[in-house]
Amino acid sequence: MEAIVVVQQEPAPPTRHLRIHQERGHTVLEFHGDIDIAAATEILPHLDRVTAQPDVRVVIDLSPVEFLDCSGLRLLYRARSRVLDRDGRLLLVCTHPLTLRIMRVTGLTRLLPPLPSLDAALGQSEATSGSL
């Protein structure tokens, strides 16, 4: 008798610049590559769909990002505004030195303090979930 192996595939990414998955009660938007105006145009409808939900818990993970311009910054600010307007929570993962510098210079780190890893973001959210 032959054993049947079932392989569960992850859904195809919405764009080459974005992967969306669920992790510990959060929707994780994982950005990839260069986030410029072309990438932002591809990502925007997916970001808007995710952030349209009430009480949504979102993590934007910039770890795989190699470059982020003002279009990428606008995506982050838009996500923050939409999530807060719907009583949700948004956390950001970012470790790239140039991206962190751009975020510091523009003041975005005050609005979205970057965390060093997805585990840190999910752990912070779990630690504070009782006080929200």
**Coil, helix or strand at residue 109:** helix
Q: What is the pTM of this model?
A: 0.85
Sign of CA dihedral 61, 64, 65, 71: negative
Q: Determine the pLDDT at residue 132.
A: 39
Place of tokens 């510990």: 24
- Give the HSE-up count for residue 81: Cα atoms under 13 Å, Cβ half-sphere: 8
Beta bridge partners of 93: 61, 115
Task: Decide: residue 72, CB within 10 A, 0-12 exposed, 13-18 middle, 19+ buried.
Answer: buried
Q: What is the pLDDT of residues 59-80, one digit of tens each?
A: 999 999 999 999 999 999 999 9
Residue 92 or 11, more confident:
92
Q: What is the pLDDT of residues 9-61, one digit of tens each?
A: 445 556 899 999 999 999 999 999 999 999 999 999 999 999 999 999 999 99
Q: Determine the pLDDT at residue 8.
A: 43
Q: Determine the pLDDT at residue 124.
A: 79
Average per-residue pLDDT in the chain? 88
Cβ-contact 67, 37 below 8 angstroms:
no
**Coil, helix or strand at residue 36:** coil
Cβ-contact 73, 108 below 8 angstroms:
yes
Long-range contacts made by residues 5-13, C-beta under 8 angstroms, separation at least 24? none
Domains of the chain: 18-120 (3.30.750.24)
Centroid of chain to Cα 53:
15
Place of tokens 């990428």: 72
